Structures are given as C-alpha cells and as structure tokens.
C-alpha cells in the first residue's frame, strides 16, 4: 500500500517498494512508485523530472547511494482517488564500463554462446574441389555452364559446338572427339553436377559475447570487423589451421545502459585468407 504523509503540492513522495535486479550481463533494472498530487503532476516542470534518461537522484531523495547510477527507462502514471497520481517508474543502468582500451574492464559481466548451423555453398568452395588441378576445375566448369557434357560411365568429356551453345541440344551436337577424361574426385563431382547438384552443406560456427555497462563499442572493436581476430572467453579449439574472424558487432542503448554484442565466425579448415582479412 502507498505510504501517505499528508500529501502536499510541489513534492514527490518515493514509496517503500523499490526493487533492483542485476542480470547476468552486468546491467541493472529497478522500479519504484512515486506519489504526487494531481496539481503537482500537471506542472510541466515536475512531469519533466520523469523524462526518459533522467537520473534517479534528480528527484528521489531516498534512494541508496549504491543505486545512484540508475536512469529512467519509463514512467507510467495512474490517477487515483483523493486527487493523487501514482507514477510507476522503471529504471536501467550500469555500474561499470565494459571496456578498457577495447579489452573487457574489471568487473564486466559477460555471456558467451557457441552456435553451430548448416549453410550452403557452391562446390567450388569444397576442400576436395580446391584440391583438384586447374584443368579438372576448368572441365567441371564446362559442365556447370552447359558448354560440355560427360559420359559418366567412362569419364569422357564432350564439348558442345560453340556456335550452338544455348540452343536446345541433342546427343548429336557434340564434338566427335572426347577432350579428356575425369577420374577420382573430379568424376564424383561430375556425377553430382549431371544429377543437378551444384552446392553442398557445410557447418558454420559462431562465438558470441554479450555484455552490459556504461560504455559503447570502441573504435578499435569497430575497426576489427571483417578482420581475423581471436575471441575472448573460452571458445573450443578446432583442428587444423582454422581461425576466427570478427563478423558481427551490435550495440543497443537504454538510457545510460549499453548492451554490446560481438560475434566471431570460425573459418573452414584452411583458415581465412590472411591477404584479404589480416
């Protein structure tokens, strides 16, 4: 129940229902009810004290110093009997900055998450395709662009008459001589292409860091986007020469509370191209 002291105009009365909670990312949320007379609430100068982003200490004389960092997230008035207004105020805030020169600051709370999903890519990105000779890749390219066909029982390629490329083709519209033959992995790719398959499923792993505090993303973090970079936390180690790239950076602001998120993506077995992404 509200605590009433003989309510007077031009006064804001904090109620004893203050609650505050810190989440697992380091941010705080809190709430409290305040009582004013309607006459007071109707004054622009008093309503303005409840504007989003204002500090709790601007109007709450009873808040503990420990929670003085809180700022208003929302204020919802309810008009009650006796010419009074109850204003339920939600607060947010952070006690510490998340970052110090781009690194996590002391006291920062973080959540880390590993996520794996299947993507789809053309055969040309498959490690077995990359291991083929250039001539084998060229021949498979003929199958993909429709300028050749193959007898998969023998591995013999046949090039279509260049003047008739794009014209509905029959078995007669091929060179009489086979160009070359496919075997091994080249032939296996050729069989798949003949069956209409041109892509494969591959796993993608991302490592996410989420934290809340009083600082936004730093310029150093923004400049690392699209670069090979080591994640913080304790991501699992992958075999071979795989490495991580910073592929996502986002920021959400609520008053003076920032939630920042960074995402790193694990490369394929040969690592990200250091020429392009170092």
Q: Which residues pair with 79 in a beta bridge?
A: 85
pTM of the predicted protein model: 0.75
Contact 9, 43 (CB under 8 A): no
Contact 264, 245 (CB under 8 A): yes
- The predicted structure's pLDDT at residue 162: 58
Answer whether residue 273 shows pLDDT above 80: yes
110, HSE (Cβ side, Cα atoms, 13 Å): 22
Q: Report residue 95: phi and psi, to 5°.
A: -90, -25
Residue 180 or residue 203, greater confidence: 203
Please write down the HEC assignment for all residues of 21-68. Answer: EECCCCCEEEEEEEEEEHHHHCCHHHHHHHCCCCEHHHCCCCCCHHHC
Q: Report residue 101: phi and psi, to 5°.
A: 55, 40
Q: Report residue 167: phi and psi, to 5°.
A: -90, 140
- The predicted structure's pLDDT at residue 239: 76
Angle at 84 between CA 42 and CA 35, to 5 degrees: 90
- The predicted structure's pLDDT at residue 169: 43
| Cβ-proximal residues to 207 (8 Å cutoff; 6+ apart), any chain | 112, 113, 114, 231, 233, 235, 244, 263, 264, 265, 266
Separation between Cα atoms, residue 59 and residue 122, nearest integer Å:
62
Separation between Cα atoms, residue 154 and residue 183, nearest integer Å:
9
Average pLDDT taken over every residue of the chain: 88
Separation between Cα atoms, residue 254 and residue 261, nearest integer Å:
14
Q: Exposure of 105 by Cβ count < 10 A (0-12 exposed, 13-18 middle, 19+ buried)?
A: middle
Q: Write the pLDDT tens digit of every residue in 215-251.
A: 999 888 889 999 999 999 999 887 778 999 999 999 9
Rg from Cα positions in the chain = 32
Q: Write the pLDDT tens digit of every residue in 31-77.
A: 999 999 999 999 999 999 999 999 999 999 999 999 999 999 999 99
- The predicted structure's pLDDT at residue 166: 46
Tokens of 51: 């504007």
* Strand stretches in 68-190, DSSP E: 71-80, 84-93, 99-100, 103-104, 110-122, 148-151, 156-159
Answer whether residue 177 shows pLDDT above 60: no
Percent with pLDDT over 70 in the chain? 91
Answer whether residue 262 shows pLDDT above 80: yes
Separation between Cα atoms, residue 48 and residue 69, nearest integer Å:
19
- The predicted structure's pLDDT at residue 4: 52
Answer whether residue 175 shows pLDDT above 70: no
- The predicted structure's pLDDT at residue 6: 76
Q: Write the pLDDT tens digit of every residue in 127-174.
A: 899 999 999 999 999 899 888 888 899 898 887 765 544 444 444 444
Percent with pLDDT over 90 in the chain? 67
Answer whether residue 178 shows pLDDT above 60: no
- The predicted structure's pLDDT at residue 68: 95
* pLDDT-based confidence at residue 269 (cuts at 50, 70, 90): confident
């Amino acid at each position: 129940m509200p605590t009433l002291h003989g309510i007077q105009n031009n006064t804001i009365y904090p109620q004893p229902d203050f609650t505050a909670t810190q989440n697992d990312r380091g941010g705080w949320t809190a709430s409290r009810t305040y009582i004013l007379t309607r006459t007071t609430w109707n004054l622009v100068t008093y309503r303005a004290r409840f504007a989003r982003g204002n500090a709790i200490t601007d109007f709450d004389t009873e808040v503990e110093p420990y929670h003085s960092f809180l700022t208003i997230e929302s204020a919802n008035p309810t008009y009650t009997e006796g010419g009074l207004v109850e204003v339920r105020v939600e607060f947010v805030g952070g006690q510490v900055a998340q970052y110090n020169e781009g690194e996590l600051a002391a006291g920062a709370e973080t959540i880390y998450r590993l996520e794996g999903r299947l993507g789809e890519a053309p055969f040309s990105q498959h490690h077995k395709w990359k291991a083929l000779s250039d001539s084998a890749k060229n021949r498979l390219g003929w199958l993909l662009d429709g300028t050749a066909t193959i007898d998969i029982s023998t591995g013999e390629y046949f090039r279509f008459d260049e003047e008739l490329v794009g014209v509905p083709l029959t078995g007669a519209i091929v060179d009489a001589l086979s160009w070359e033959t496919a075997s091994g992995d080249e032939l296996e790719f050729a069989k798949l292409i003949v069956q209409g398959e041109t892509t494969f499923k591959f796993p993608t792993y991302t490592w996410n860091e989420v934290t809340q505090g009083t600082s936004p993303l730093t310029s150093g973090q923004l400049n690392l986007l699209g670069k090979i970079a080591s994640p913080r936390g304790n991501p699992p180690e992958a075999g071979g020469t795989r490495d991580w790239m910073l592929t996502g950076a986002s920021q959400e602001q609520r008053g003076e509370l920032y939630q920042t998120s960074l995402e790193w993506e694990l490369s394929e077995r040969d690592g990200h191209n250091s020429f392009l992404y170092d």
